[in-house]
């Protein structure tokens, strides 16, 4: 059946301004890091993307190496875009990135101009797009001059292959430097994509203040800590879950101490009439400097349940104080401070 987007797709979603730019992003965005590679049935990926757009999720986030194998999430997205979403291109914000290991040899990793611009061309070909909305430097590269990496983002924008420039997992200090370089080049830094969740709060130590001050948007990845901040691990590790696959998420993170914290948070969520996942999303979005929570979903049901967090976003002082008793920083999360260079 050809896809026709739901007429009511803009009725419930909240759209937030991205920093001091003209671009609005949905409060909840969908990432294609996992669940969209050649290892998953294309029809499941299709159903998730269709439902997301019908729920007002106008932003899909990719990277060159999402899969597995590398590149396959972009390839599958390209197929689904051609089948379903081409008529809606101007209603979508599609992002991709380069910065991690992608192809063999010295030009397929990190932050050189050579890698970033070649990778963007490959991403556009895989997705069948003329341009992406946001092109990111996926991580800081301490051995490449920041001027070179930011210069590549500026070139991508000037070539019309990206509309906006972004950075991911950069420290506060390097973010300030990147912002200044891009400003001088005439291409503003639109957005930063850091990890952030109830279990991983490194951005509260300087980065969030910098973004607020500079007027740069903030889209937080893994707001559910890869699924830890859902009720699924409260009674063990279910078969088929991300922890059970032990690839990007080690089951060792689910210590008794952590699960106790999750139980405490789950009780707060239940008292609000929410799921733990919905509370985790509301909590990430409580700060006006956060533009969007960038989540993943392995099923339509998960996605729908998560988006229903929008029905109850407000958190009172007492609830926030209670949450503080259980929310922790970095140490137990794989996306800890060390990823920010
Ligand atoms: N810039 C970067 O370096 C970077 C790094 C990582 C991610 N990202 C971006 O952030 C996006 C999201 O990352 P993420 O997938 O780690 O986010 P996440 O939202 O923290 O975790 C998503 C996973 O949690 C589980 N889940 C979600 N909702 C659930 C529910 N209601 N009940 C039970 N389980 C549920 C699912 O895993 P299972 O069902 O498989 O268990 C799902 O795939 C990525 O796709 C990517 O776009 C960026």
Which token pair is 45?
């990926």
CA 21 – ligand 1 centroid, Å: 27
Which token pair is 238?
């279910």
Closest CA to 297 of 49, 14, 3, 13: 49
pLDDT at 242 over 70: yes
Reduce the DSSP state of residue 150 to 3 states and report it. Answer: helix
pLDDT digits (tens, 9 = 90+) for 248-262: 988 999 999 999 999
Report the mean per-residue pLDDT for the chain: 95
Closest CA to 316 of 245, 268, 246: 268
Q: Which residue has the tokens 């380069």?
A: 98
Compute how many other C-beta atoms are within 10 angstroms of the C-beta atom of residue 215.
16
Choice from 296, 334, 335 to test ligand 1 binding pocket (greatest atom count within 8 A of CB): 296
Pair 28, 93: CB distance under 8 Å: no
Q: How far apart are CA 234 and CA 259, in angstroms?
A: 6
Q: What atom of ligand 1 comes closest to residue 223's alpha carbon?
A: 20
pLDDT at 328: 83
Which token pair is 272?
């609000």
Ligand 1 pocket member 32 (CB < 6 A): yes
pLDDT digits (tens, 9 = 90+) for 36-75: 999 999 999 999 999 999 999 999 999 999 999 999 999 9
pLDDT digits (tens, 9 = 90+) for 224-239: 999 999 999 999 999 9
Which residues are CB-neighbours of 125 under 8 A, at least 6 positions away? Answer: none
Ligand 1 pocket member 134 (CB < 6 A): no
Which token pair is 39?
């290892």
Reduce the DSSP state of residue 312 to 3 states and report it. Answer: helix
pLDDT at 286 over 50: yes
Could you give phi then psi for residue 48, rounded to 5 degrees? -65, -45
CA 298 – ligand 1 centroid, Å: 8
DSSP bridge pairs for 25 = 16
CA 306 – ligand 1 centroid, Å: 11
Q: What atom of ligand 1 comes closest to residue 168's alpha carbon?
A: 1
Helix H or strand E encompassing 166: strand 162-168
Q: What atom of ligand 1 comes closest to residue 97's alpha carbon?
A: 1
Q: Where are the alpha helices (DSSP H) in the chain?
A: 42-54, 72-80, 113-127, 146-158, 172-185, 207-214, 242-245, 256-271, 276-284, 300-307, 317-324
CA 216 – ligand 1 centroid, Å: 23
């Amino acid at each position: 059946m050809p896809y026709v987007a739901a007429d009511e797709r803009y009725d419930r979603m909240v759209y937030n301004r991205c920093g001091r730019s003209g671009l609005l992003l949905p409060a909840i965005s969908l990432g294609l890091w996992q669940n969209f590679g050649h290892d998953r049935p294309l029809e499941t990926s299709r159903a998730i993307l269709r439902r997301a757009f019908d729920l007002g999720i106008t932003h899909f986030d990719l990277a060159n190496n999402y899969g597995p194998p590398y590149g396959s999430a972009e390839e599958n997205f390209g197929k689904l875009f051609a089948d379903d979403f081409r008529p809606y291109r101007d209603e979508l914000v599609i992002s991709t990135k380069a910065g991690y290991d992608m192809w063999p040899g010295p030009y397929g990793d990190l932050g050189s101009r050579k890698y970033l611009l070649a990778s963007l061309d490959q991403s556009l070909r895989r997705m069948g797009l003329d341009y992406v909305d946001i092109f990111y430097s996926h991580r800081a590269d301490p051995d490449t001059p920041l001027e070179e990496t930011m210069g590549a983002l500026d070139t991508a924008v000037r070539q019309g292959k990206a509309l906006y420039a972004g950075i991911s997992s950069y420290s506060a200090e390097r973010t300030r430097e990147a912002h200044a370089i891009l400003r001088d080049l005439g291409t503003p830094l639109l957005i930063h994509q850091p990890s952030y969740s109830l279990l991983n709060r490194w951005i509260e130590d300087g980065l969030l203040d910098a973004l607020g001050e500079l007027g740069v948007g903030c889209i937080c990845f893994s707001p559910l800590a890869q699924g830890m901040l859902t009720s699924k691990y409260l009674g063990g590790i279910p078969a088929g879950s991300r922890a059970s696959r032990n690839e990007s998420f080690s089951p060792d993170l689910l210590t008794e101490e952590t699960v106790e914290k999750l139980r405490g948070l789950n009780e707060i969520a239940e008292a609000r009439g929410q799921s733990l996942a919905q509370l985790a999303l509301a909590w990430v979005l409580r700060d006006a400097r956060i533009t969007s929570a960038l989540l993943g979903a392995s099923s339509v049901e998960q996605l729908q349940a998560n988006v229903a967090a929008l029905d109850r976003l407000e958190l009172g002082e007492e609830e926030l104080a209670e949450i503080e008793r259980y929310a922790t920083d970095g140490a137990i999360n794989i996306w800890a401070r060390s990823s920010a260079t």
